[in-house]
Amino acid sequence: MSTEPSAGAWGAKAQTAEAGGADKPKFRLELNSAPSGVWWMPIVSVGLALVFCGLFIALNGMNPIAVYLKMLQGAFGSSYGISETMVKAIPLLLCGLGVSFAYRISIWNIGAEGQLIAGAISATAVTIYWPELGGLWAIPVMMIAGMAGGALWGLLTALPRTLFRVNELITSLMLNYVAILLLNFFVFGPWKDPKGMNFPGTAEFPPAQQLLTLGGSRLHLGLVYGLVAVILYAVWMNYTRWGYELRLLGANPAAAKYAGIAVNRHIIVVMLISGGLAGLAGMSEVSGVTHRLMYGLSPGYGYTAIIVAWLAKLNPAGLLVSSVLFGALIVGGYSVQTIGLPSSMSLMLQGAILFFLIAGDHFGKYRLRRSRSDKA
């Protein structure tokens, strides 16, 4: 008897193989050669962060919706809450603008925290060594000093990058700790208020060296600085040749260099501006809020500003919205203490938003396409 399969058997196997081939996936994931962000991705990221953190709140035996409503009420439910939200939004906006300038040319400036503190120290130096300065000159001189201090701290990141190709992530991060230690040296040492007993801080600034407040609240003139800076940022980036060169440099450094753009010079100038804006935030904080240089001046505004800039996709209007959102998270975090949750609840939300933003940007680099076998 023949053991070879018949023609019918071969045909049946062929049909089975074809049927098996039909089981191949209809879609495949491939790298997008021209990835582009979508406007709704930040909104989805915030929504997913709320859901994610809501699960932990529920596991703690509390109603997530009630907790979020309590945070919303604390941030926007009263004139005091609104003013405090805006007070927190001012340094976030100015530092976020500085970070955005650097990101425009693909410079990862994560040193806004140190630049803010350097600006605060420089502005305070005016009150320490020139206490009699008043009139119309006091605030402008403090502004210049604060921006110069922040710009210097930015320059300390730019020079190693341009001269020795040192990664700016490392230098900008390390300089944050240097600035914090420098602040501690002054407030515990030569600038400590002798009348402050054990309080680590300088003497209170003279009234002429304090920023004007609005409507009897703590909301100060720094808000105007932030709004003006946003307008200038939008005009420079979208309507000037310099802004075009920055966008080109960020999109394709090789093409920008081939076009004759001085890459190193742009890096230095951008880091000076980036640090200067963060330094202005530091000046606004000591002159408009604390009225003295003090230990623990910043609760991490410079770090949070990184998320603010990323959430806004470097867009001027988006920076306004995201800075107010994160200001509300900080203020809302204080209000949940009354229902038994720690104020660090806002930090968990910030971290979750950053996580989903990064995930969204990563998956945005890919696209789903139909397999060729499914195209007829």
Q: 131: buried, middle or exposed (CB in 10 Å: 19+, 13-18, 0-12)?
A: middle
Provide the pLDDT for residue 177: 98
pLDDT at 13: 47
pLDDT the model gives residue 340: 86
Return all residues near 202 (Cβ < 8 A) that are at least 6 apart: 124, 127, 128, 186, 187, 191, 192, 193, 292, 293, 294
Q: How many residues does the chain have?
A: 376
How many other C-beta atoms are found inside a 10 Å radius of the C-beta of residue 94?
33
The per-residue pLDDT for 362 is 77
- In degrees, to the nearest 5, what angle opens at C-alpha 145 toward C-alphas 140 and 146? 95
What confidence score (pLDDT) does residue 376 get?
45
Are 319 and 96 a contacting pair, CB within 8 Å? yes
Q: What is the pLDDT at residue 7?
A: 47
Domain 37-56+79-362 in CATH 1.10.3470 = yes
Q: What share of the chain is helix, strand, coil (3-state, %, to 5)?
A: 70, 5, 25
pLDDT tens, per residue, the chain with 376 residues: 444 445 454 454 445 444 444 455 566 666 665 555 567 888 999 999 999 999 999 998 999 999 999 999 999 999 999 999 999 999 999 999 999 999 999 999 999 999 999 999 999 999 999 999 988 999 999 999 999 999 999 999 999 999 999 999 999 999 999 999 999 999 999 999 988 767 899 999 999 999 999 888 999 999 999 999 999 999 999 999 999 999 999 989 889 989 899 999 999 999 999 999 999 999 999 999 999 999 999 999 999 999 999 999 999 999 999 999 999 999 999 999 988 888 888 999 999 999 999 888 877 766 666 665 544 4
Amino acid letter for position 62: M
For residue 338, what pLDDT is reported? 87
Looking at residue 50, its pLDDT comes to: 96
Contact criterion met (CB below 8 Å) for 282 and 118:
yes
Q: Where are the domains of the chain?
A: 37-56+79-362
Buried b / exposed e across 192-218, counting CB within 10 Å, b at 16+?
Answer: bbeeeeeebbbbebeeebbbeeeeeee
Contact 56, 303 (CB under 8 A): no
The structure tokens listed for 300 are 């991490």
